[in-house]
Structures are given as structure tokens and as C-alpha cells.
Amino acid sequence: MTNFLQLGQAAINARNTAEAVQWFEKAVQKDPGDATALACLGQSLCWLNQHKQGLDYLYKSGKQLIKKARKSKDTSQLILLVEQLQFWEDYQGSLELVKQAVQINNSDLRSFQILAHTYSRLNKNSLALSASKQALKKAPIIPY
């Protein structure tokens, strides 16, 4: 974690989101491809009711996380970002990211659950049902 990210996190902990934005902006300027810095800046801007700008940074973070996930096959950070977008009720924007997560790692139960939820929120019920069925196939069987 860079010094700018640490200072931004300290500002968040002190409940000073405006100051945190300034630190996270510096972190992004230092490394425009840092998914963590982009996500921190985006989330902070959303907290300051600058949703459009904040969501733009969250999308940029998502693009970086897709690249990382393709190399590592670990989609956990990408799924966390999808959840952040959905917290801000951006289901349409999160759809492409969660679809990428499922393509990268089609054995991850959580990705299929979130995909089903996303389709449901977008009123794409047949796709939600299909994704739900895939999630059930991935779910562990718990003996009684």
C-alpha cells in the first residue's frame, strides 16, 4: 500500500472523506493502473454524492481487476468491486464485470449467485433463473 493510500485510509478512519479523496487522487496520479487506488477514490467520491465520477473510477478499477483475474484466475477482488457497484445500485454497470468473473472462473459459486441477483435486479428473469441453477450446481452438498 502506497503512502498516499495509507494517508487516504487514515482520513477515512477519521471520517474525513473530502481529505481522503485528495490523497486517493494523488495515489491514482502516481499509479493510474492501481486498482485499489481507483476503487478507493471511486468509493470516496460516491460517499461525497459525486456518484457519476465515483462510478467511473470504480469501473476503471474493475477493468484493472479483470486483467489481474485473467492472469491469476482469482476473481475475489473483482467480485468485491461488483458488490460495491451494487451497493450504489449500479446493477447495469456491474453486469459486465460479474459476467467477466464467471467467464474467468466458472467454478466460483459466489460469482454465479451475484450474477443471478444482478439479472434479477435488471428484470432479466430467465437469465437470473439460469444463473441460479448454475449456482446450485456449484453449491456443496451438506449431508444431514
Q: Is the pLDDT of residue 106 over 70?
A: yes
| Cβ(115)–Cβ(94) below 8 Å | no
Type of residue at 98 = V
* Grid cell listed for 100: 467477466
For residue 84, the model assigns a pLDDT of 96
pTM score, whole prediction: 0.89
For residue 138, the model assigns a pLDDT of 84
| Closest alpha carbon to 72 in 108, 42, 32, 96 | 108
How far is it, in rounded angstroms, from Cα 13 to Cα 87?
20
**CA dist 56 → 43, 59, 68, 75 (Å):** 10, 5, 19, 20
How far is it, in rounded angstroms, from Cα 31 to Cα 64?
12
How far is it, in rounded angstroms, from Cα 93 to Cα 110?
18
Answer whether CATH 3.40.50.720 is correct for domain 3-138. Answer: no
**pLDDT confidence bin for 1, thresholds 50/70/90:** low
| Cβ(66)–Cβ(103) below 8 Å | no
* Grid cell listed for 38: 481507483
**pLDDT confidence bin for 143, thresholds 50/70/90:** confident
For residue 82, the model assigns a pLDDT of 97
The continuous run of DSSP H or E covering 41 comes out as helix 35-47
For residue 9, the model assigns a pLDDT of 96
How far is it, in rounded angstroms, from Cα 84 to Cα 43?
8
For residue 141, the model assigns a pLDDT of 77
| DSSP structure class, residue 50 | -
- Residues 5-59 have pLDDT tens digits of 999 999 999 999 999 999 999 999 999 999 999 999 999 999 999 999 999 999 9
- List the chain domain ranges: 3-138
